[in-house]
Chain A
Amino acid sequence: MYFGAAKFGLTLGYENSSITAVWPPTGIALAALLLGGYRMWPAVALGAFLANSWTGVPLPAVLGIAAGNTLEAVAGAFLLRRVAKFQSALERVRDVAALAVLAGALSTIASATIGVASLWLAGRVPGGELASAWRVWWLGDMGGDLLVAPALLLFARPFRLDLRPARIAEVAASGSALIVIGLLVLSRPTPFAFTLFPLLMWAALRFGPRGAALATVMVAGIAVYFTSRGLGPFVRGSPDDSLLGSQMFMGFTATTALLLAAITAERERARRALRSAHDALELKVRERTADLANANEALTKSELQLAEAQGVARIGSWEWDIVADEVHWSDELYRIYGLDPEQFGASYEAFLARVHPDDRQAADEAVRTALADPGHFDFDHRVIRPDGQVRILHARGRVVVDEGGTPVRMFGTGHDVTERELEEREADRLKDEFFALVSHELRTPLSSVKGYVELLLDGRAGAETNARGREFALTIARNASRLESLVDDLLFAAQLQSGEFGPHPEDTVDLSELLTGRVEAAARDAAERTIELALTSESSCTCTGDRDRFSEVFDNLISNALTYTPKGGRVDVTLETSDDTAVVSIRDTGIGIAQADRKRVFGRFFRAPAVRERIPGLGLGLPIAKAIAEAYGGRIEIESEEGAGSTVRFEIPLAGAVGGRATATGTAVDL
Chain B
Amino acid sequence: MRSATGEAPPVVLVADDDEDVLQLVAAVLEEEGYEIETARDGLEALDRLSTRRPDLALLDVRMPGVDGVELSRRIRRNPRTRDVPVILLSALVHAKYVARGFAAGATDYIRKPFSPNELIARVGATLDR
Determine which of B28, B91, B95 lies in contact with A451 in the assembled complex, contact meaning CB atoms within 8 Å. B28
A532 within 8 A of partner (CB): no
Contact with A along B70-86 (1 / 0, CB 8 A): 00000000000000000
Bound: A449/B95 CA distance, A: 24
Chain B residue at minimum C-beta to C-beta distance from A442: B91
Q: Are A450 and B113 in contact (CB under 8 A)?
A: yes
* A444 with B21: CB separation less than 8 A: yes
Among A488-515, those with CB < 8 Å from B are: 491, 495, 500, 502-503
* Interface Cβ pair total, 8 Å cutoff: 68
A452 interface neighbour in B18, B24, B95, Cβ under 8 Å: B24
- Contacts of A458 on B, CB cut-off 8 Å? 116-117
In-complex Cβ contact of A448 among B18, B28, B30, B95 (8 A): B18
- The answer on a CB contact under 8 Å between A451 and B115 is yes
* B92, B94, B112, B113 pick with most chain A CB within 10 angstroms: B113
Residue in A closest to B60 when the chains form the complex, CB atoms: A444
Chain A residues lying within 8 Å of B30, measured Cβ to Cβ, are 461
Q: Which residues of B contact A460 (CB under 8 A)?
A: 27-28, 31, 116
Q: Provided the pairs A440-B91, A443-B93, A444-B18 are in contact, do residues A484 and B28 lie with their beta carbons within 8 angstroms? A: no
If A444-B18, A455-B24, A461-B30 touch, whether A449 touches B94 (CB-CB below 8 Å) is: no
A97 within 8 A of B: no
The dominant DSSP class at the B interface is helix
Question: Which A residues are CB-close (under 8 A) to B25?
Answer: 451
Q: A455 and B28 in contact (CB under 8 A), knowing A447-B113, A447-B114, A450-B113?
A: yes
- Flag if B18 contacts A451 (CB, 8 Å): no
Pair B93/A451 contact, Cβ less than 8 Å: no
Contact status B116-A495, CB under 8 Å: no
Tell me if A455 and B116 are in contact (CB < 8 A): yes
What 1/0 flags go to B1-45 for Cβ under 8 Å of A?
000000000000000001011001101101100000000000000
| Cα A445 to Cα B93 with chains together (Å) | 15
CA distance A455 to B94 in the complex (A): 27
14 contacts between A and B (CB under 8 A): A436-B94, A446-B112, A447-B114, A448-B113, A449-B113, A450-B115, A451-B24, A452-B20, A455-B24, A460-B116, A491-B93, A491-B94, A500-B94, A502-B95
- Which A positions have Cβ atoms within 8 angstroms of B? 436, 440-441, 443-452, 454-455, 458, 460-462, 480, 484, 491, 495, 500, 502-503
Which residues of B come within 8 Å of A, CB atoms? 18, 20-21, 24-25, 27-28, 30-31, 91-96, 112-117
Given A443-B112, A444-B112, A451-B116, 6 new contacts (CB under 8 A): A444-B18, A447-B91, A448-B24, A458-B116, A484-B113, A495-B94
